[in-house]
C-alpha cells in the first residue's frame, strides 16, 4: 500500500490559518488544522488532527482517538495518518429480517 503522508495534504488558507480534510481509501477522513486561534498547538506553530465521520463531525468510534489530537509535528501527523489508513472499516451489522416475514415467504412458496 502506498500511504498518504503530510506531504500529500493540500491546505486551504482562510482566516488565521490552514485547514485540510483528506479522505483515505478506507473511507476514513482526517482534518488537519494549524494556526487557528482555537486549534491545539497553534501558538507553537504545530498541527491538530481530528478523525471525522462523513458528516464532518468527530468520529468517536475509531480506535485511535475520541477527540482532536494537538501539538503535532509534520512527522507526527504522518504517523497518525498512516495509523488511520491501516484501520479496517467495520462491516455494518445487517438488519435482521423479522421472523414473520420469513414465515410469510415460506407459506407463499
As a whole number, mean pLDDT of residues 2-22 equals 93
Number of domains in the chain: 1
Q: How confident is the model at residue 78 (pLDDT cuts 50, 70, 90)?
A: very high
Report yes or no on 90 lying in a domain. yes
In this model, does residue 104 exceed pLDDT 90?
A: no
DSSP secondary structure letter of residue 10: -
Nearest to 37 by CA among 60, 21, 14: 14
Which stretches of the chain are assigned E, i.e. beta strand? 12-14, 17-23, 29-34, 47-52, 69-72
> Would you state the pLDDT for residue 1?
85
What is the share, in percent, of the chain residues with pLDDT greater than 90? 65
Report yes or no on 23 lying in a domain. yes
Report yes or no on 98 lying in a domain. yes
Cell of residue 39, nine digits: 486549534
Note down the domain range covering 26: 6-108
Distances (CA, A) of 46 to 43, 50, 79, 80: 8, 14, 15, 14
Amino acid at each position: 500500500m502506498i500511504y498518504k503522508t503530510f506531504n500529500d495534504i493540500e491546505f486551504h488558507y482562510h482566516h488565521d490559518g490552514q485547514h485540510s480534510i483528506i479522505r483515505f481509501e478506507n473511507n476514513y477522513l482526517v482534518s488537519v488544522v494549524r494556526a487557528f486561534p482555537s486549534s491545539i498547538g497553534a501558538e507553537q506553530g504545530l498541527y491538530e488532527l481530528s478523525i471525522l465521520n462523513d458528516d464532518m463531525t468527530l468520529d468517536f468510534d475509531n480506535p485511535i482517538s475520541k477527540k482532536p489530537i494537538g501539538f503535532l509535528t509534520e512527522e507526527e501527523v504522518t504517523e497518525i495518518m498512516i495509523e488511520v489508513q491501516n484501520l479496517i472499516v467495520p462491516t455494518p451489522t445487517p438488519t435482521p429480517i423479522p421472523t414473520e416475514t420469513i414465515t410469510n415467504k415460506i407459506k407463499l412458496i
